[in-house]
């Protein structure tokens, strides 16, 4: 192998590693700054209200995978949930330690795609700010489902939204945010199918904003953002075309799990007698 090929291989390996550790970037001060100020609070409050509503009857033990951004772990602990955060590295607890005491939550490190917990270890498992940046996102969902006893809640960037033009509008997003990443969009159908493959049923899909979050950051006017989004919600536009979408899926019956196992074996090309 030539020196040039070796360098290309190293760059590819680093890119793959970073792609499967998106929570490291999301735990940085630069990322936290995107949600600073009145506009940032408006964006996060919407997310928090939806999650608290969804978790109302799903148990108190919560695993927040990739939750080093502290966007959910902090409000959940303050509402009495027993929260464990899984980060790809120790650096992922930086934002958490700024907001809550280490006695108020648990922290573990490990792979997002191979969670270091036994099956059904937690009542609810969360995965936010991950799917848009993980190549092996079906494996991510399978792992979230594996360690959950009851429900899984994730967010994803909806393809049926302005975000579908993400690559075209990326220079504008970069100019507004200063530092940002490319992201992957999903459809509701493919996300539902992935959960079905793990014997989970999607029971709720809540879309957050009609207008891109980068636009709200660019406007820098929380009252205007609030009015625009409330109007969009009232006329039904947000639930139809909004993004990111927050999805809650619940563990299905034993029959559904048998069907999911059969489907997974068929996809793997394995014959069982």
pLDDT, one tens digit for every residue, the chain (273 residues): 443 333 433 333 333 444 478 999 999 998 898 899 999 999 999 999 999 999 998 899 999 999 999 999 999 999 999 999 999 999 999 999 999 999 999 999 999 999 999 999 999 999 999 999 899 999 999 999 999 999 999 999 998 866 655 455 545 544 555 555 566 889 999 999 999 999 999 999 999 999 988 889 888 999 999 999 999 999 999 999 999 999 999 998 643 555 555 555 555 543 322
* Beta carbons of 31 and 133 less than 8 angstroms apart: no
Question: Any alpha helices (H) in 55-165, and if so which ranges?
Answer: 73-78, 94-99, 137-146
Domains of the chain and any CATH numbers: 21-264 (3.40.50.150)
What's 145's DSSP letter?
A: H
Q: Does the pTM of the predicted model rise above 0.75?
A: yes
What secondary structure letter does DSSP report for 156? E
Cis peptide before 138 (omega within 30 of 0): no
Helix (H) or strand (E) holding 11, with range, is helix 3-19
Phi and psi, residue 200, nearest 5°: -120, 150
């Amino acid at each position: 192998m030539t020196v040039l090929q070796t360098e290309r291989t190293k760059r590819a390996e680093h890119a793959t590693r970073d792609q499967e550790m998106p929570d490291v970037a999301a735990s940085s001060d630069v990322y936290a700054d995107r949600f600073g100020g009145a506009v940032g609070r408006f964006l996060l409050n919407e997310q928090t209200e939806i999650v608290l509503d969804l978790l109302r009857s799903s148990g108190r033990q919560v695993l927040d995978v990739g939750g080093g951004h502290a966007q959910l772990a902090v409000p959940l602990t303050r509402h009495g949930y027993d929260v464990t955060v899984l980060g790809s590295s120790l650096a992922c607890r930086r934002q958490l330690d700024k907001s809550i005491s280490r006695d108020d939550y648990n922290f573990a490190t490990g792979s997002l795609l191979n969670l270091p917990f036994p099956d059904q270890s937690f009542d609810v498992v969360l995965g936010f700010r991950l799917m848009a940046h993980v190549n092996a996102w079906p494996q991510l969902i399978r792992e979230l489902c594996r360690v959950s006893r009851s429900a899984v809640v994730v967010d994803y960037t909806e393809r049926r939204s302005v975000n579908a033009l993400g690559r075209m509008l990326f220079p504008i997003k970069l100019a507004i945010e200063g530092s940002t990443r490319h992201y992957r969009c999903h459809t509701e159908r493919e996300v539902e199918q992935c959960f079905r493959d793990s014997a989970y049923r999607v029971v709720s899909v809540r879309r957050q904003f009609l207008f891109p979050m980068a636009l709200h950051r660019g406007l820098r006017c929380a009252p205007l953002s609030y009015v625009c989004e409330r109007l969009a919600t009232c006329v039904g536009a947000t639930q139809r075309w909004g993004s990111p979408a927050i999805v809650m899926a619940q563990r299905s019956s034993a029959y559904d799990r048998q069907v999911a196992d059969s489907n997974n074996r068929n996809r793997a090309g394995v014959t069982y007698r």
